Amino acid sequence: MIDQATFHFFRDCVTVVGVLVGIGYYIAGSQIQIKTRKAQLFLNLYNHFKSEDFMKDWTVMFFEWRWDNYEEFWSKYGPSQPEEFSKFLSMCAYFEGIGLLVSMKLIELEIVDKLMAAPIIWMWEKLDSEIIETRKRFNAPRLWEWNEYLYHRLVGKIGKKPLYFDTE
């Protein structure tokens, strides 16, 4: 028969093992929950990205907008043209948010790369000189910085070319 000290020792060991298993289960469950929330966040962003309105604005901006210099860009698509300017701001703000979320590791660059790389790269390559000039003229050195960050992360990951087709 087991004496009382041995019984208490085994009982305490079983309790400790039970607590450790519970902690491990909690940690594993938390990791799954974090991954699920990240996926939900990305899918919410992706639903907006693939919406008809977003795609219409993107198509107009990247296949129809043409300009030769900053002044022409600003006169055709700047604040004096609210409908066009809102497309510009909306597109930049959307990709700005994605860049920030990637930098904070709230969404994975890999997912953005697989589903959105081309439009993000095209946007920066089409608008980079206008954005950089706007930073200078308005003394706003951080303007659309997460767009630029995201562009460099994607280009660094996949290489610059080839990327589907050229919009020029």
Q: Which ranges of the chain have pLDDT less than 50?
A: 162, 165, 167
What pLDDT sits at residue 77?
A: 96
Number of neighbours of residue 85 by Cβ within 10 angstroms? 15
What pLDDT sits at residue 167?
A: 47
Look at the block and give the residue holding tokens 């767009």. 147
| Size of the chain, expressed as the number of residues it contains | 168
Alpha-carbon distance 34 to 8, whole Å?
Answer: 39
